[in-house]
Amino acid sequence: MRERIRVLPPETVAKIAAGEVVERPASVVKELVENALDAGASHIVVEVERGGKRLVRVSDDGCGMSREDSIKAFERHATSKISSVEDLSSITTLGFRGEALAAIAAVARVRLTTRPEGEAEATEVRAEGGKVTDARAAGRSQGTTVEVRDLFHNVPARRKFMKSDGVEGDHVLDVLTSYALARPDVGFRVFSDSREVLSLPPAESLGERVAGVFGVQVFRELIPVMGARRELPHSYDEYPLSGCFVHGYISRPSLNRGRPSHLRFFLNGRWFSDRALDQTVLEGYGELLPHGRYPVGVLHIEMSPAQVDVNVHPAKSVVRFADEARVRGAVLDSIRSALATAASQPHGVPGRPLEPLPFKPSLPPRVETGPVQKTINGAEAPHPPPPPEPERGLPEMVLLGQAHNLYIIGQTKDGIVIVDQHAAHERIRYERLREQFSSGGVRSQTLLAPRTLELGARERSALEGGRDVLARLGYQVEEFGGRSVVVKAVPVVGGAAMPAESLRDVLGELLESFGKPSRRYEARADRLLKLMACHESVRSGERLEPAEMRELIDALYRTQNPFSCPHGRPTMIHMSRRDLEAKFGRSG
């Protein structure tokens, strides 16, 4: 009998494999944007023509590639991100399978132009039919541009399944808004048929980015989700299963949609979809939502990569949790407590920032000379603080006092402002730290009695890799032998020396942030600064004198983003006179 089983020719194999990664233009955009983010880009520009069917072009200012790498990148299973199967349990990059560029080149015409850091020349590589057809010297600034033309030109069956330009374009935009929500620190600009359809400058906080993506109006209907980080991981080895941190924004029940697609989940900065989690969120709302309606939401889950499998599907859009029940429990808890907090606030007074920057100012600038103001600008203040910058929508206020050693209350022209003292302090400290960090290093204090700390193995490795950044953060650490180190100096945050133990938290964050070489140093260092600004040790309820309150408000107003703390919680809420009148039934 004749043999009936045949081994397929390589081109056919490549096209079949490509089908798992590239389904439509949006998948191309997803893979290219992931690559740009993995390359540490801080600005990404995406251009599409005809919904991406004719052209997808993604440009970044990331680390770029050498000539050799830019050719190798098109081979199947060529990746710089993992080197062994063990690495699969500690993935901190979005890509790792080394398939995307090969897959895209199998079904489209690709041109990649790239220039790595510190090299004078760029390389332009062309690939088609899965093969590199040309590589030559070219010009461009540091970074990478990948141009993908005529998707599925050689796979008629697939081409037929693409939808109209409009539908495909919508999918592309969906992907891009998702990544914009995954990484608020990265700037995104998107053009469709030469028209700019999305422009998002790098944001200070998730809140600011959410407002940019959904618009201020929707943002106003959102409430922050701020799951308590139950225990900070000391290292991945010690990361407890429950060490899962959920934060983001969800809509008040009054804002709801007919489909769950307005709920977006992110795991350690990776966008993923999960039907079960959609249901968990619904469960969190319980009776608050009408049947068949879904909330709008952006939920970031952060946990040890060792507790998640992201290698479930070639498109990497599904994740599998080692302990799914705990993750669902954490999501459920955080949704319920966010809704409960919102419900306990007076109706019509959402716990939201007044106006997220950089949106329109609503009030005229100018410092009001209220009673408290006068005492400060009097004799004891040698340098009266400069007035807040104009055009930022900051409410002028006359300070009324402090409540519970926690909140500062002020009267504004059209209502009342309540400032969360802690959140305000965090914002101020964070911006000061950032300034010090970028100009030589965080202020540091030598310990009279150096502290010996015993570190875990992974913490030790974080210490090795992070020496420079630790020094700039204000920690002076020396080896002691074995697993012990001696902490000789610590950073000064908010006027007080951090405890030596805080080094563990910083190392924990370092492990997450610097695990892979392609992550850009500055952006990652920012997370450490946030951690320090918000460290437990520098928090406490504090009675403030009027002058101190004024100082705090002035300092807050001088920050670049006075409306939210470094993690995106609001620093102030505003109750307008209208809100108050409605509450007291005076409006009718």
- Within 345-438, where are the H helices? 371-376, 421-438
The number of residues that bind ligand ADP (CB under 6 A) is 23
CB of 103 to Mg ion, least distance (A): 10
Helix (H) or strand (E) holding 299: strand 297-302
Please tell me whether residue 95 binds Mg ion under the rule CB under 5 A. Answer: yes
Question: What mask, x for binding ligand ADP by CB under 6 A, covers residues 306 to 325?
Answer: --------------------
When asked if residue 100 is in the footprint of Mg ion (CB under 5 A), the reply is: yes
Write out the binding residues for ligand ADP, residues 137-176 only, by CB under 6 A. Answer: 144
Phi, psi (5° rounding) for residue 260?
-80, 0
Exposed, middle or buried by CB within 10 Å (0-12, 13-18, 19+), for 193?
A: middle
For residue 557, the partner it binds in ligand ADP, Mg ion, none, with Cβ less than 5 to 8 A by kind, is none
Residue 57, interface with ligand ADP (CB under 6 A)?
no
Q: Are 225 and 245 in contact (CB under 8 A)?
A: no
Q: With contact defined as beta carbons under 8 Å apart, do 139 and 127 qualify?
A: no
How many Å apart are CA 7 and CA 3, to the nearest integer?
Answer: 11
Taking the C-alpha atoms of residue 512 and residue 497, their distance in angstroms, rounded to an integer, is 24
306: left (phi over 0), alpha (psi -120 to 50) or beta: alpha
Segment lying near Mg ion (by CB under 5 A), choices 32-40, 310-318, 348-356, 512-520: 32-40
Tokens of 45: 């520009």
Choose among Mg ion, ligand ADP, none what residue 531 binds, the Cβ cut-off being 5 to 8 Å by kind.
none
Helix/strand/coil percentages in the chain, nearest 5: 35, 25, 40
CB of 219 to ligand ADP, least distance (A): 31
Q: Tokens in use for 216? A: 């201020």
Residue 147 CA to residue 48 CA, distance in Å, equals 10
List 35, 123, 251, 559, residue binding Mg ion (CB under 5 A): 35
Distance CA 213, CA 207 (A): 10
Shortest Å distance, C-beta 64 to Mg ion: 15
| Shortest Å distance, C-beta 112 to Mg ion | 12
Of positions 98, 365, 385, 465, contacts ligand ADP by CB under 6 A:
98
Asked if 97 is part of the footprint of ligand ADP (rule: CB under 6 A), the reply reads yes
If one asks whether residue 297 binds Mg ion (CB under 5 A), the answer comes out as no
Name which of 60 and 509 has its Cβ closer to ligand ADP. 60
Cβ proximity to ligand ADP: between 371 and 517 the closer is 517
- Give the tokens for residue 282: 């619904």
* Distance in Å, CB of 381 to ligand ADP, minimum: 51
What would the 3-class secondary structure string for 346-387 be? CCCCCCCCCCCCCCCCCCCCCCCCCHHHHHHCCCCCCCCCCC
Tell me, residue by residue from 58 to 87, as one string, x for binding to ligand ADP by CB under 6 A and - for no binding.
Answer: --x-xxxx-------x----xxxx------
CB 206, min distance to Mg ion, A: 24
From the list ligand ADP, Mg ion, none, pick the one residue 422 interacts with, judged by a Cβ distance below 5 to 8 Å according to partner type.
none
Nearest distance from C-beta of residue 31 to Mg ion, angstroms = 5
Eight-state DSSP code of residue 388: P
Q: Is 99 in the site for ligand ADP (CB under 6 A)?
A: yes
Which residues, 6 or more positions from 475, have their beta carbon under 8 angstroms from its beta carbon? 444, 487, 489, 490, 491, 503, 506
Q: Which one of the spans 30-38, 68-76, 158-166, 411-419 is the region binding Mg ion (CB under 5 A)?
A: 30-38
- H/E stretch holding 9 reads none
User: Residue 78 binds which entry of ligand ADP, Mg ion, none, with Cβ cut-offs from 5 to 8 Å by kind?
Assistant: ligand ADP
Which residues of the shown chain bind Mg ion in the complex (CB under 5 A)?
35, 95, 100
Which residues of the shown chain bind ligand ADP in the complex (CB under 6 A)?
31, 35-36, 39, 60, 62-65, 73, 78-81, 95-102, 144
